[in-house]
Chain A
């Protein structure tokens, strides 16, 4: 007798298949969702194959920020790396650009170390082998190409392979503060520069030269409390007006509507225009474009850029204060509206969340004492070093001072800070020595460095030898000429 097919089993099989296929599809779809919800984030956290590095953990749940898609090629991932990092590498004149390794003459080296891809040296989700700056290669990677360095530089004979980068002499990418002629040029300066000071902020002075500044609607003319263009919406005694009237915004013609009304409606009747109660960085970017770009590229804002909910201190890996654990970081976390007090933003705001040894030690450090002296260009706050003032060229060819909010840029390796930050006040040698000492860094530089990095001495000695050799050569040529 023929066996009957049991339709119920077939039905169950179909139902299970449908559910499994649906779950896989929903999972893949969720991974690519640019605005993930809670369920998406939970699913992604289950799928994380291992802890990410200190530079990427904030965005580790935005899978496609690095992986491009569900099954990316190596080139797709590389394009993602470059979308965030290429500009900075270009700016520091990367010592090992990709082109060096795509050149066929270096094919033998590229076979040993394929540095045409970032992930050759920086593999993510590998906490066990991840070192500073997210490097996952064994420490002897310099040797692959530079094992003969002592032939060209006898002074390097016998140096340990771990000392190339660890001693504060070389970086793989950024050597703008470490190249030989720069060392020679900055030799001989001791602890302090003759005129220690940082750049003065000057946005107010260059507003009219900036093509993308809304100076037609908000000309840089000082406004009084009575000029506030949302004046009637708030009671007269409200501190909002008071704070705004005391701010740089009021002094520079930036009225309430500039931030609280969407840009497309600027200039229209404020009474009927859309009123944005809590403006985001999308309002700030209208006048502070490069600052916002830095914030979104930095450790505080990178989650927003990746489409994730804002970073909170609770998610940080560094010690943070308990009472601020759930503060969602935005521009106003540090620059509290409506006063936008940059002094508060430079120290108090940082210490309201950060609770590590370095932050706590700041208040008793020699740097903190410079704040009491009160001249803004010589005061050393948290921001002076971690959000440094740099000369920035706008697309309109206007050079203005930018407070670089991408604070991760100069953190690692620490010696990157020597040029962009320390050199404004200190001699280069002093800065290199100080930055090379991890204990001194952690304690927030309570005293002068006790260790010495010999790079400047070596560069100066080599310069002297070259000059002496040239003089001898000229002398013998002179003798030959006379004889």
Chain B
């Protein structure tokens, strides 16, 4: 990818990715590098939450449950919800980029692939297990869209999806690509 994306998204990516705010270092980052950096933070945070909080407390120690209705059931937020709430908070902050967790086998049908790039990307990541990048135009704006494979990293992921009454697929195993993180940077 030749195109280079400078400020302010580069600055945001560095600030988020490296935990420091030195915008001058941002110059010269490609869209792909920025997307990869943002995704690295998202994936790491969610994996930490899934393994150290949900898997440990729900599946190993059995002291608290994680539930879709966490508020009503006084339970932990599901990892997918934790991810979605983060994405909503980013959208509220007008941070300049957006991301979502989608799947070809979504529990919530609104999270099924919708755009051509989403459909192509989710198929590609399921087949290769590797990220997929493409430009797309939505609502008259062009985006650099990256799709990252989202794999089952904990028992909590597969047990919840395999048992959910709205899940169209019930044979997920550890390490399977369950869906994808779709990240969009405006170009």
Q: How far is the CA of A182 from the CA of B186 in the complex (A)?
A: 39
B33 beta carbon closer than 8 Å to chain A: no
Q: Are A181 and B69 within 8 A (Cβ)? A: yes
Query: Are A105 and B115 in contact, CB atoms less than 8 angstroms apart?
Result: yes
- Check A99 against B118 for contact (C-beta < 8 Å): no
A95 to chain B, nearest CB (A): 11
| Contact, CB under 8 Å: A182 / B165 | no
- The verdict on B74 contacting chain A, using a C-beta distance below 8 Å, is no
B170 part of interface (Cβ distance < 8 Å): yes
Is B61 interfacial (CB-CB < 8 Å)? no
With a cutoff of 8 Å between Cβ atoms, the chain A residues found around residue B71 in the complex are 93
> A interface, how many residues as a size bin?
20 to 34
Give the number of residues in B that approach A within 8 Å (Cβ atoms).
Answer: 25
Knowing A105-B182, A152-B109, the reply to whether A99 touches B88 (Cβ < 8 A) is yes
Residues in A whose Cβ lies below 8 Å from that of B91: 98-99, 102-103
Contacting pair A104 B138 (CB below 8 A): yes
The answer, among B72, B92, B98, for a CB contact under 8 Å with A98, is: B92
Which partner residue on chain B sits nearest A103 by CB separation? B98
- Bound-state CA distance A108–B116 (Å) is 13
- Rounded to whole angstroms, the CA-CA distance of A473 and B169 in the bound complex is 12
C-alpha spacing A98/B140, complex, angstroms: 20
Asked if B2 is at the interface of the complex by the 8 Å CB criterion, the answer is no
Does B87 sit at the interface, judged by CB under 8 A?
yes
Do A104 and B98 touch across chains, with their CB atoms under 8 A apart? yes
Q: Is the CB of B141 within 8 A of A104?
A: yes
B98 engages A97 (CB within 8 Å): no
Asked if A28 is at the interface of the complex by the 8 Å CB criterion, the answer is no
In-complex Cβ contact of A99 among B87, B114, B140 (8 A): B87
- Inside 8 A of B92's CB, which chain A residues have their CB? 98-99
Say whether, besides A104-B139, A104-B141, A463 and B165 are in contact (CB < 8 Å).
yes
Q: What CA separation (Å) do A463 and B164 show in the bound complex? A: 11
In-complex Cβ contact of B68 among A97, A98, A181 (8 A):
A181
Answer yes or no: B143 CB below 8 A from chain A CBs.
yes
Q: How far is the CA of A108 from the CA of B115 in the complex (A)?
A: 10
Mark contacts of A425-466 with chain B using CB atoms, 8 A cut-off: 1 yes-contact digit, 0 otherwise. 000000000000000000000000000000000000011001
A366 to B157, CA, bound (A): 50
Interface bits A89-110 vs B (CB < 8 Å: 1, else 0): 0000100011100111101101
Interface residues of A in 175-206 (CB under 8 A from B): 179, 181-182
Query: How far is A384 from B140 in the complex, measured between Cα atoms in Å?
Result: 52
Q: Are the CB atoms of A473 and B182 closer together than 8 Å?
A: no
Best-surrounded residue of A105, A152, A463 (most CB of chain B within 10 A):
A105
**A364 CB within 8 Å of chain B:** no
Q: A102 contacts which chain B residues (CB < 8 A)?
A: 91, 98
Contact A108 B139 (CB under 8 A): yes
Is B88 touching A97 in the complex (CB atoms < 8 A)? yes
Q: Does B184 contact A (CB under 8 A)?
A: yes
A98–B93 alpha-carbon span in the complex (Å): 11
Is B100 an interface position by the 8 A CB rule?
yes
Min Cβ gap A19→B in Å is 45
A93, A111, A470: the one contacting B139 at CB < 8 Å is: A111
List B contacts of A181 (CB < 8 A).
68-69
Contact of A107 among B87, B109, B138 (CB under 8 A): B138
Q: Which residues of A lie under 8 Å from residue B138 when comparing CB positions? A: 104-105, 107-108
Nearest residue, chain B, Cβ from A102: B91
Taking CB atoms and an 8 Å cut-off, the chain B residues in 165-182 that contact chain A are 165, 170, 182
Question: Which among B72, B100, B109, B186 is the interface contact of A103 at CB below 8 angstroms?
Answer: B100
Q: Report Cα–Cα, A182/B143, bound state, in Å.
A: 39
Determine if B170 and A105 form an interchain contact, defined as CB atoms under 8 angstroms apart. no
Decide: B115 and A182 in contact? CB cutoff 8 A.
no
Q: Which residue of A lies closest to B94 (CB)?
A: A102
Hey, which chain B residues are within 8 Å of A104, CB to CB?
98, 138-139, 141, 143, 184, 186
Mask of B10-32 contacts with A, CB within 8 angstroms, 1/0: 00000000000000000000000
Q: How far is the CB of A393 from chain B (nearest CB, A)?
A: 12
Give, as a whole number of angstroms, the nearest-CB distance from A257 to chain B: 42
Which residues of A lie under 8 Å from residue B88 when comparing CB positions? 97, 99
**Complex: chain A residue closest to B139, CB-CB:** A107
- Give the docked Cα–Cα distance between A110 and B71 (Å): 29
Contacts of B141 in A (CB 8 A): 104, 107
Chain A residues with Cβ below 8 Å from B163 are 470
Residue of A105, A152, A473 touching B114 (CB-CB under 8 A): A105
Measured between beta carbons, the chain B residues less than 8 angstroms from A473 are 170
Query: What's the nearest-Cβ distance from chain A to residue B31, in Å?
Result: 15
Q: Are A110 and B139 interface neighbours, CB within 8 A?
A: yes
Q: How far is the CA of A105 from the CA of B87 in the complex (A)?
A: 13
Q: Choose from B68, B115, B139, B165 the contact partner of A466 (Cβ within 8 Å).
A: B165
CB of A182 within 8 A of CB of B69, answer yes
- A179 CA / B73 CA spacing, docked (Å): 14
Cβ–Cβ contact A182 & B98, under 8 A = no
Residues of chain B within 8 A (CB-CB) of A98 are 91-92
Docked complex: B40-77 residues within 8 A CB-CB of A: 68-69, 71-72
**In the complex, which residues 68-115 of chain B have their Cβ closer than 8 Å to any Cβ of chain A?**
68-69, 71-72, 87-88, 91-92, 98, 100, 109, 114-115
Contacts of B68 in A (CB 8 A): 181
Task: Please report the C-alpha to C-alpha distance between residue A263 and residue B48 in the assembled complex, in whole angstroms.
Answer: 48
Hey, which chain A residues are within 8 Å of B118, CB to CB? 105
Residues from chain B with a CB closer than 8 A to the CB of A99 are: 87-88, 91-92
Distance of A382 from chain B, by nearest CB (Å): 28
Closest chain B residue to A465 by CB distance? B165
Q: Which residues of A contact B98 (CB under 8 A)?
A: 102-104
Chain A residue nearest in CB terms to B71: A93
Q: List 9 A-B contacts (CB under 8 A).
A: A99-B91, A102-B98, A104-B184, A105-B138, A107-B138, A108-B139, A462-B165, A470-B163, A470-B165
Extra inter-chain contacts (18) besides given A105-B138, A470-B163, CB under 8 Å: A97-B88, A98-B91, A99-B88, A102-B98, A103-B100, A104-B98, A104-B138, A104-B143, A104-B184, A105-B114, A108-B139, A110-B139, A152-B109, A181-B69, A182-B72, A466-B165, A470-B165, A473-B170
**Which 5 pairs, one residue from A and one from B, show the smallest C-beta to C-beta distance?**
A107-B139, A99-B91, A466-B165, A99-B88, A107-B138
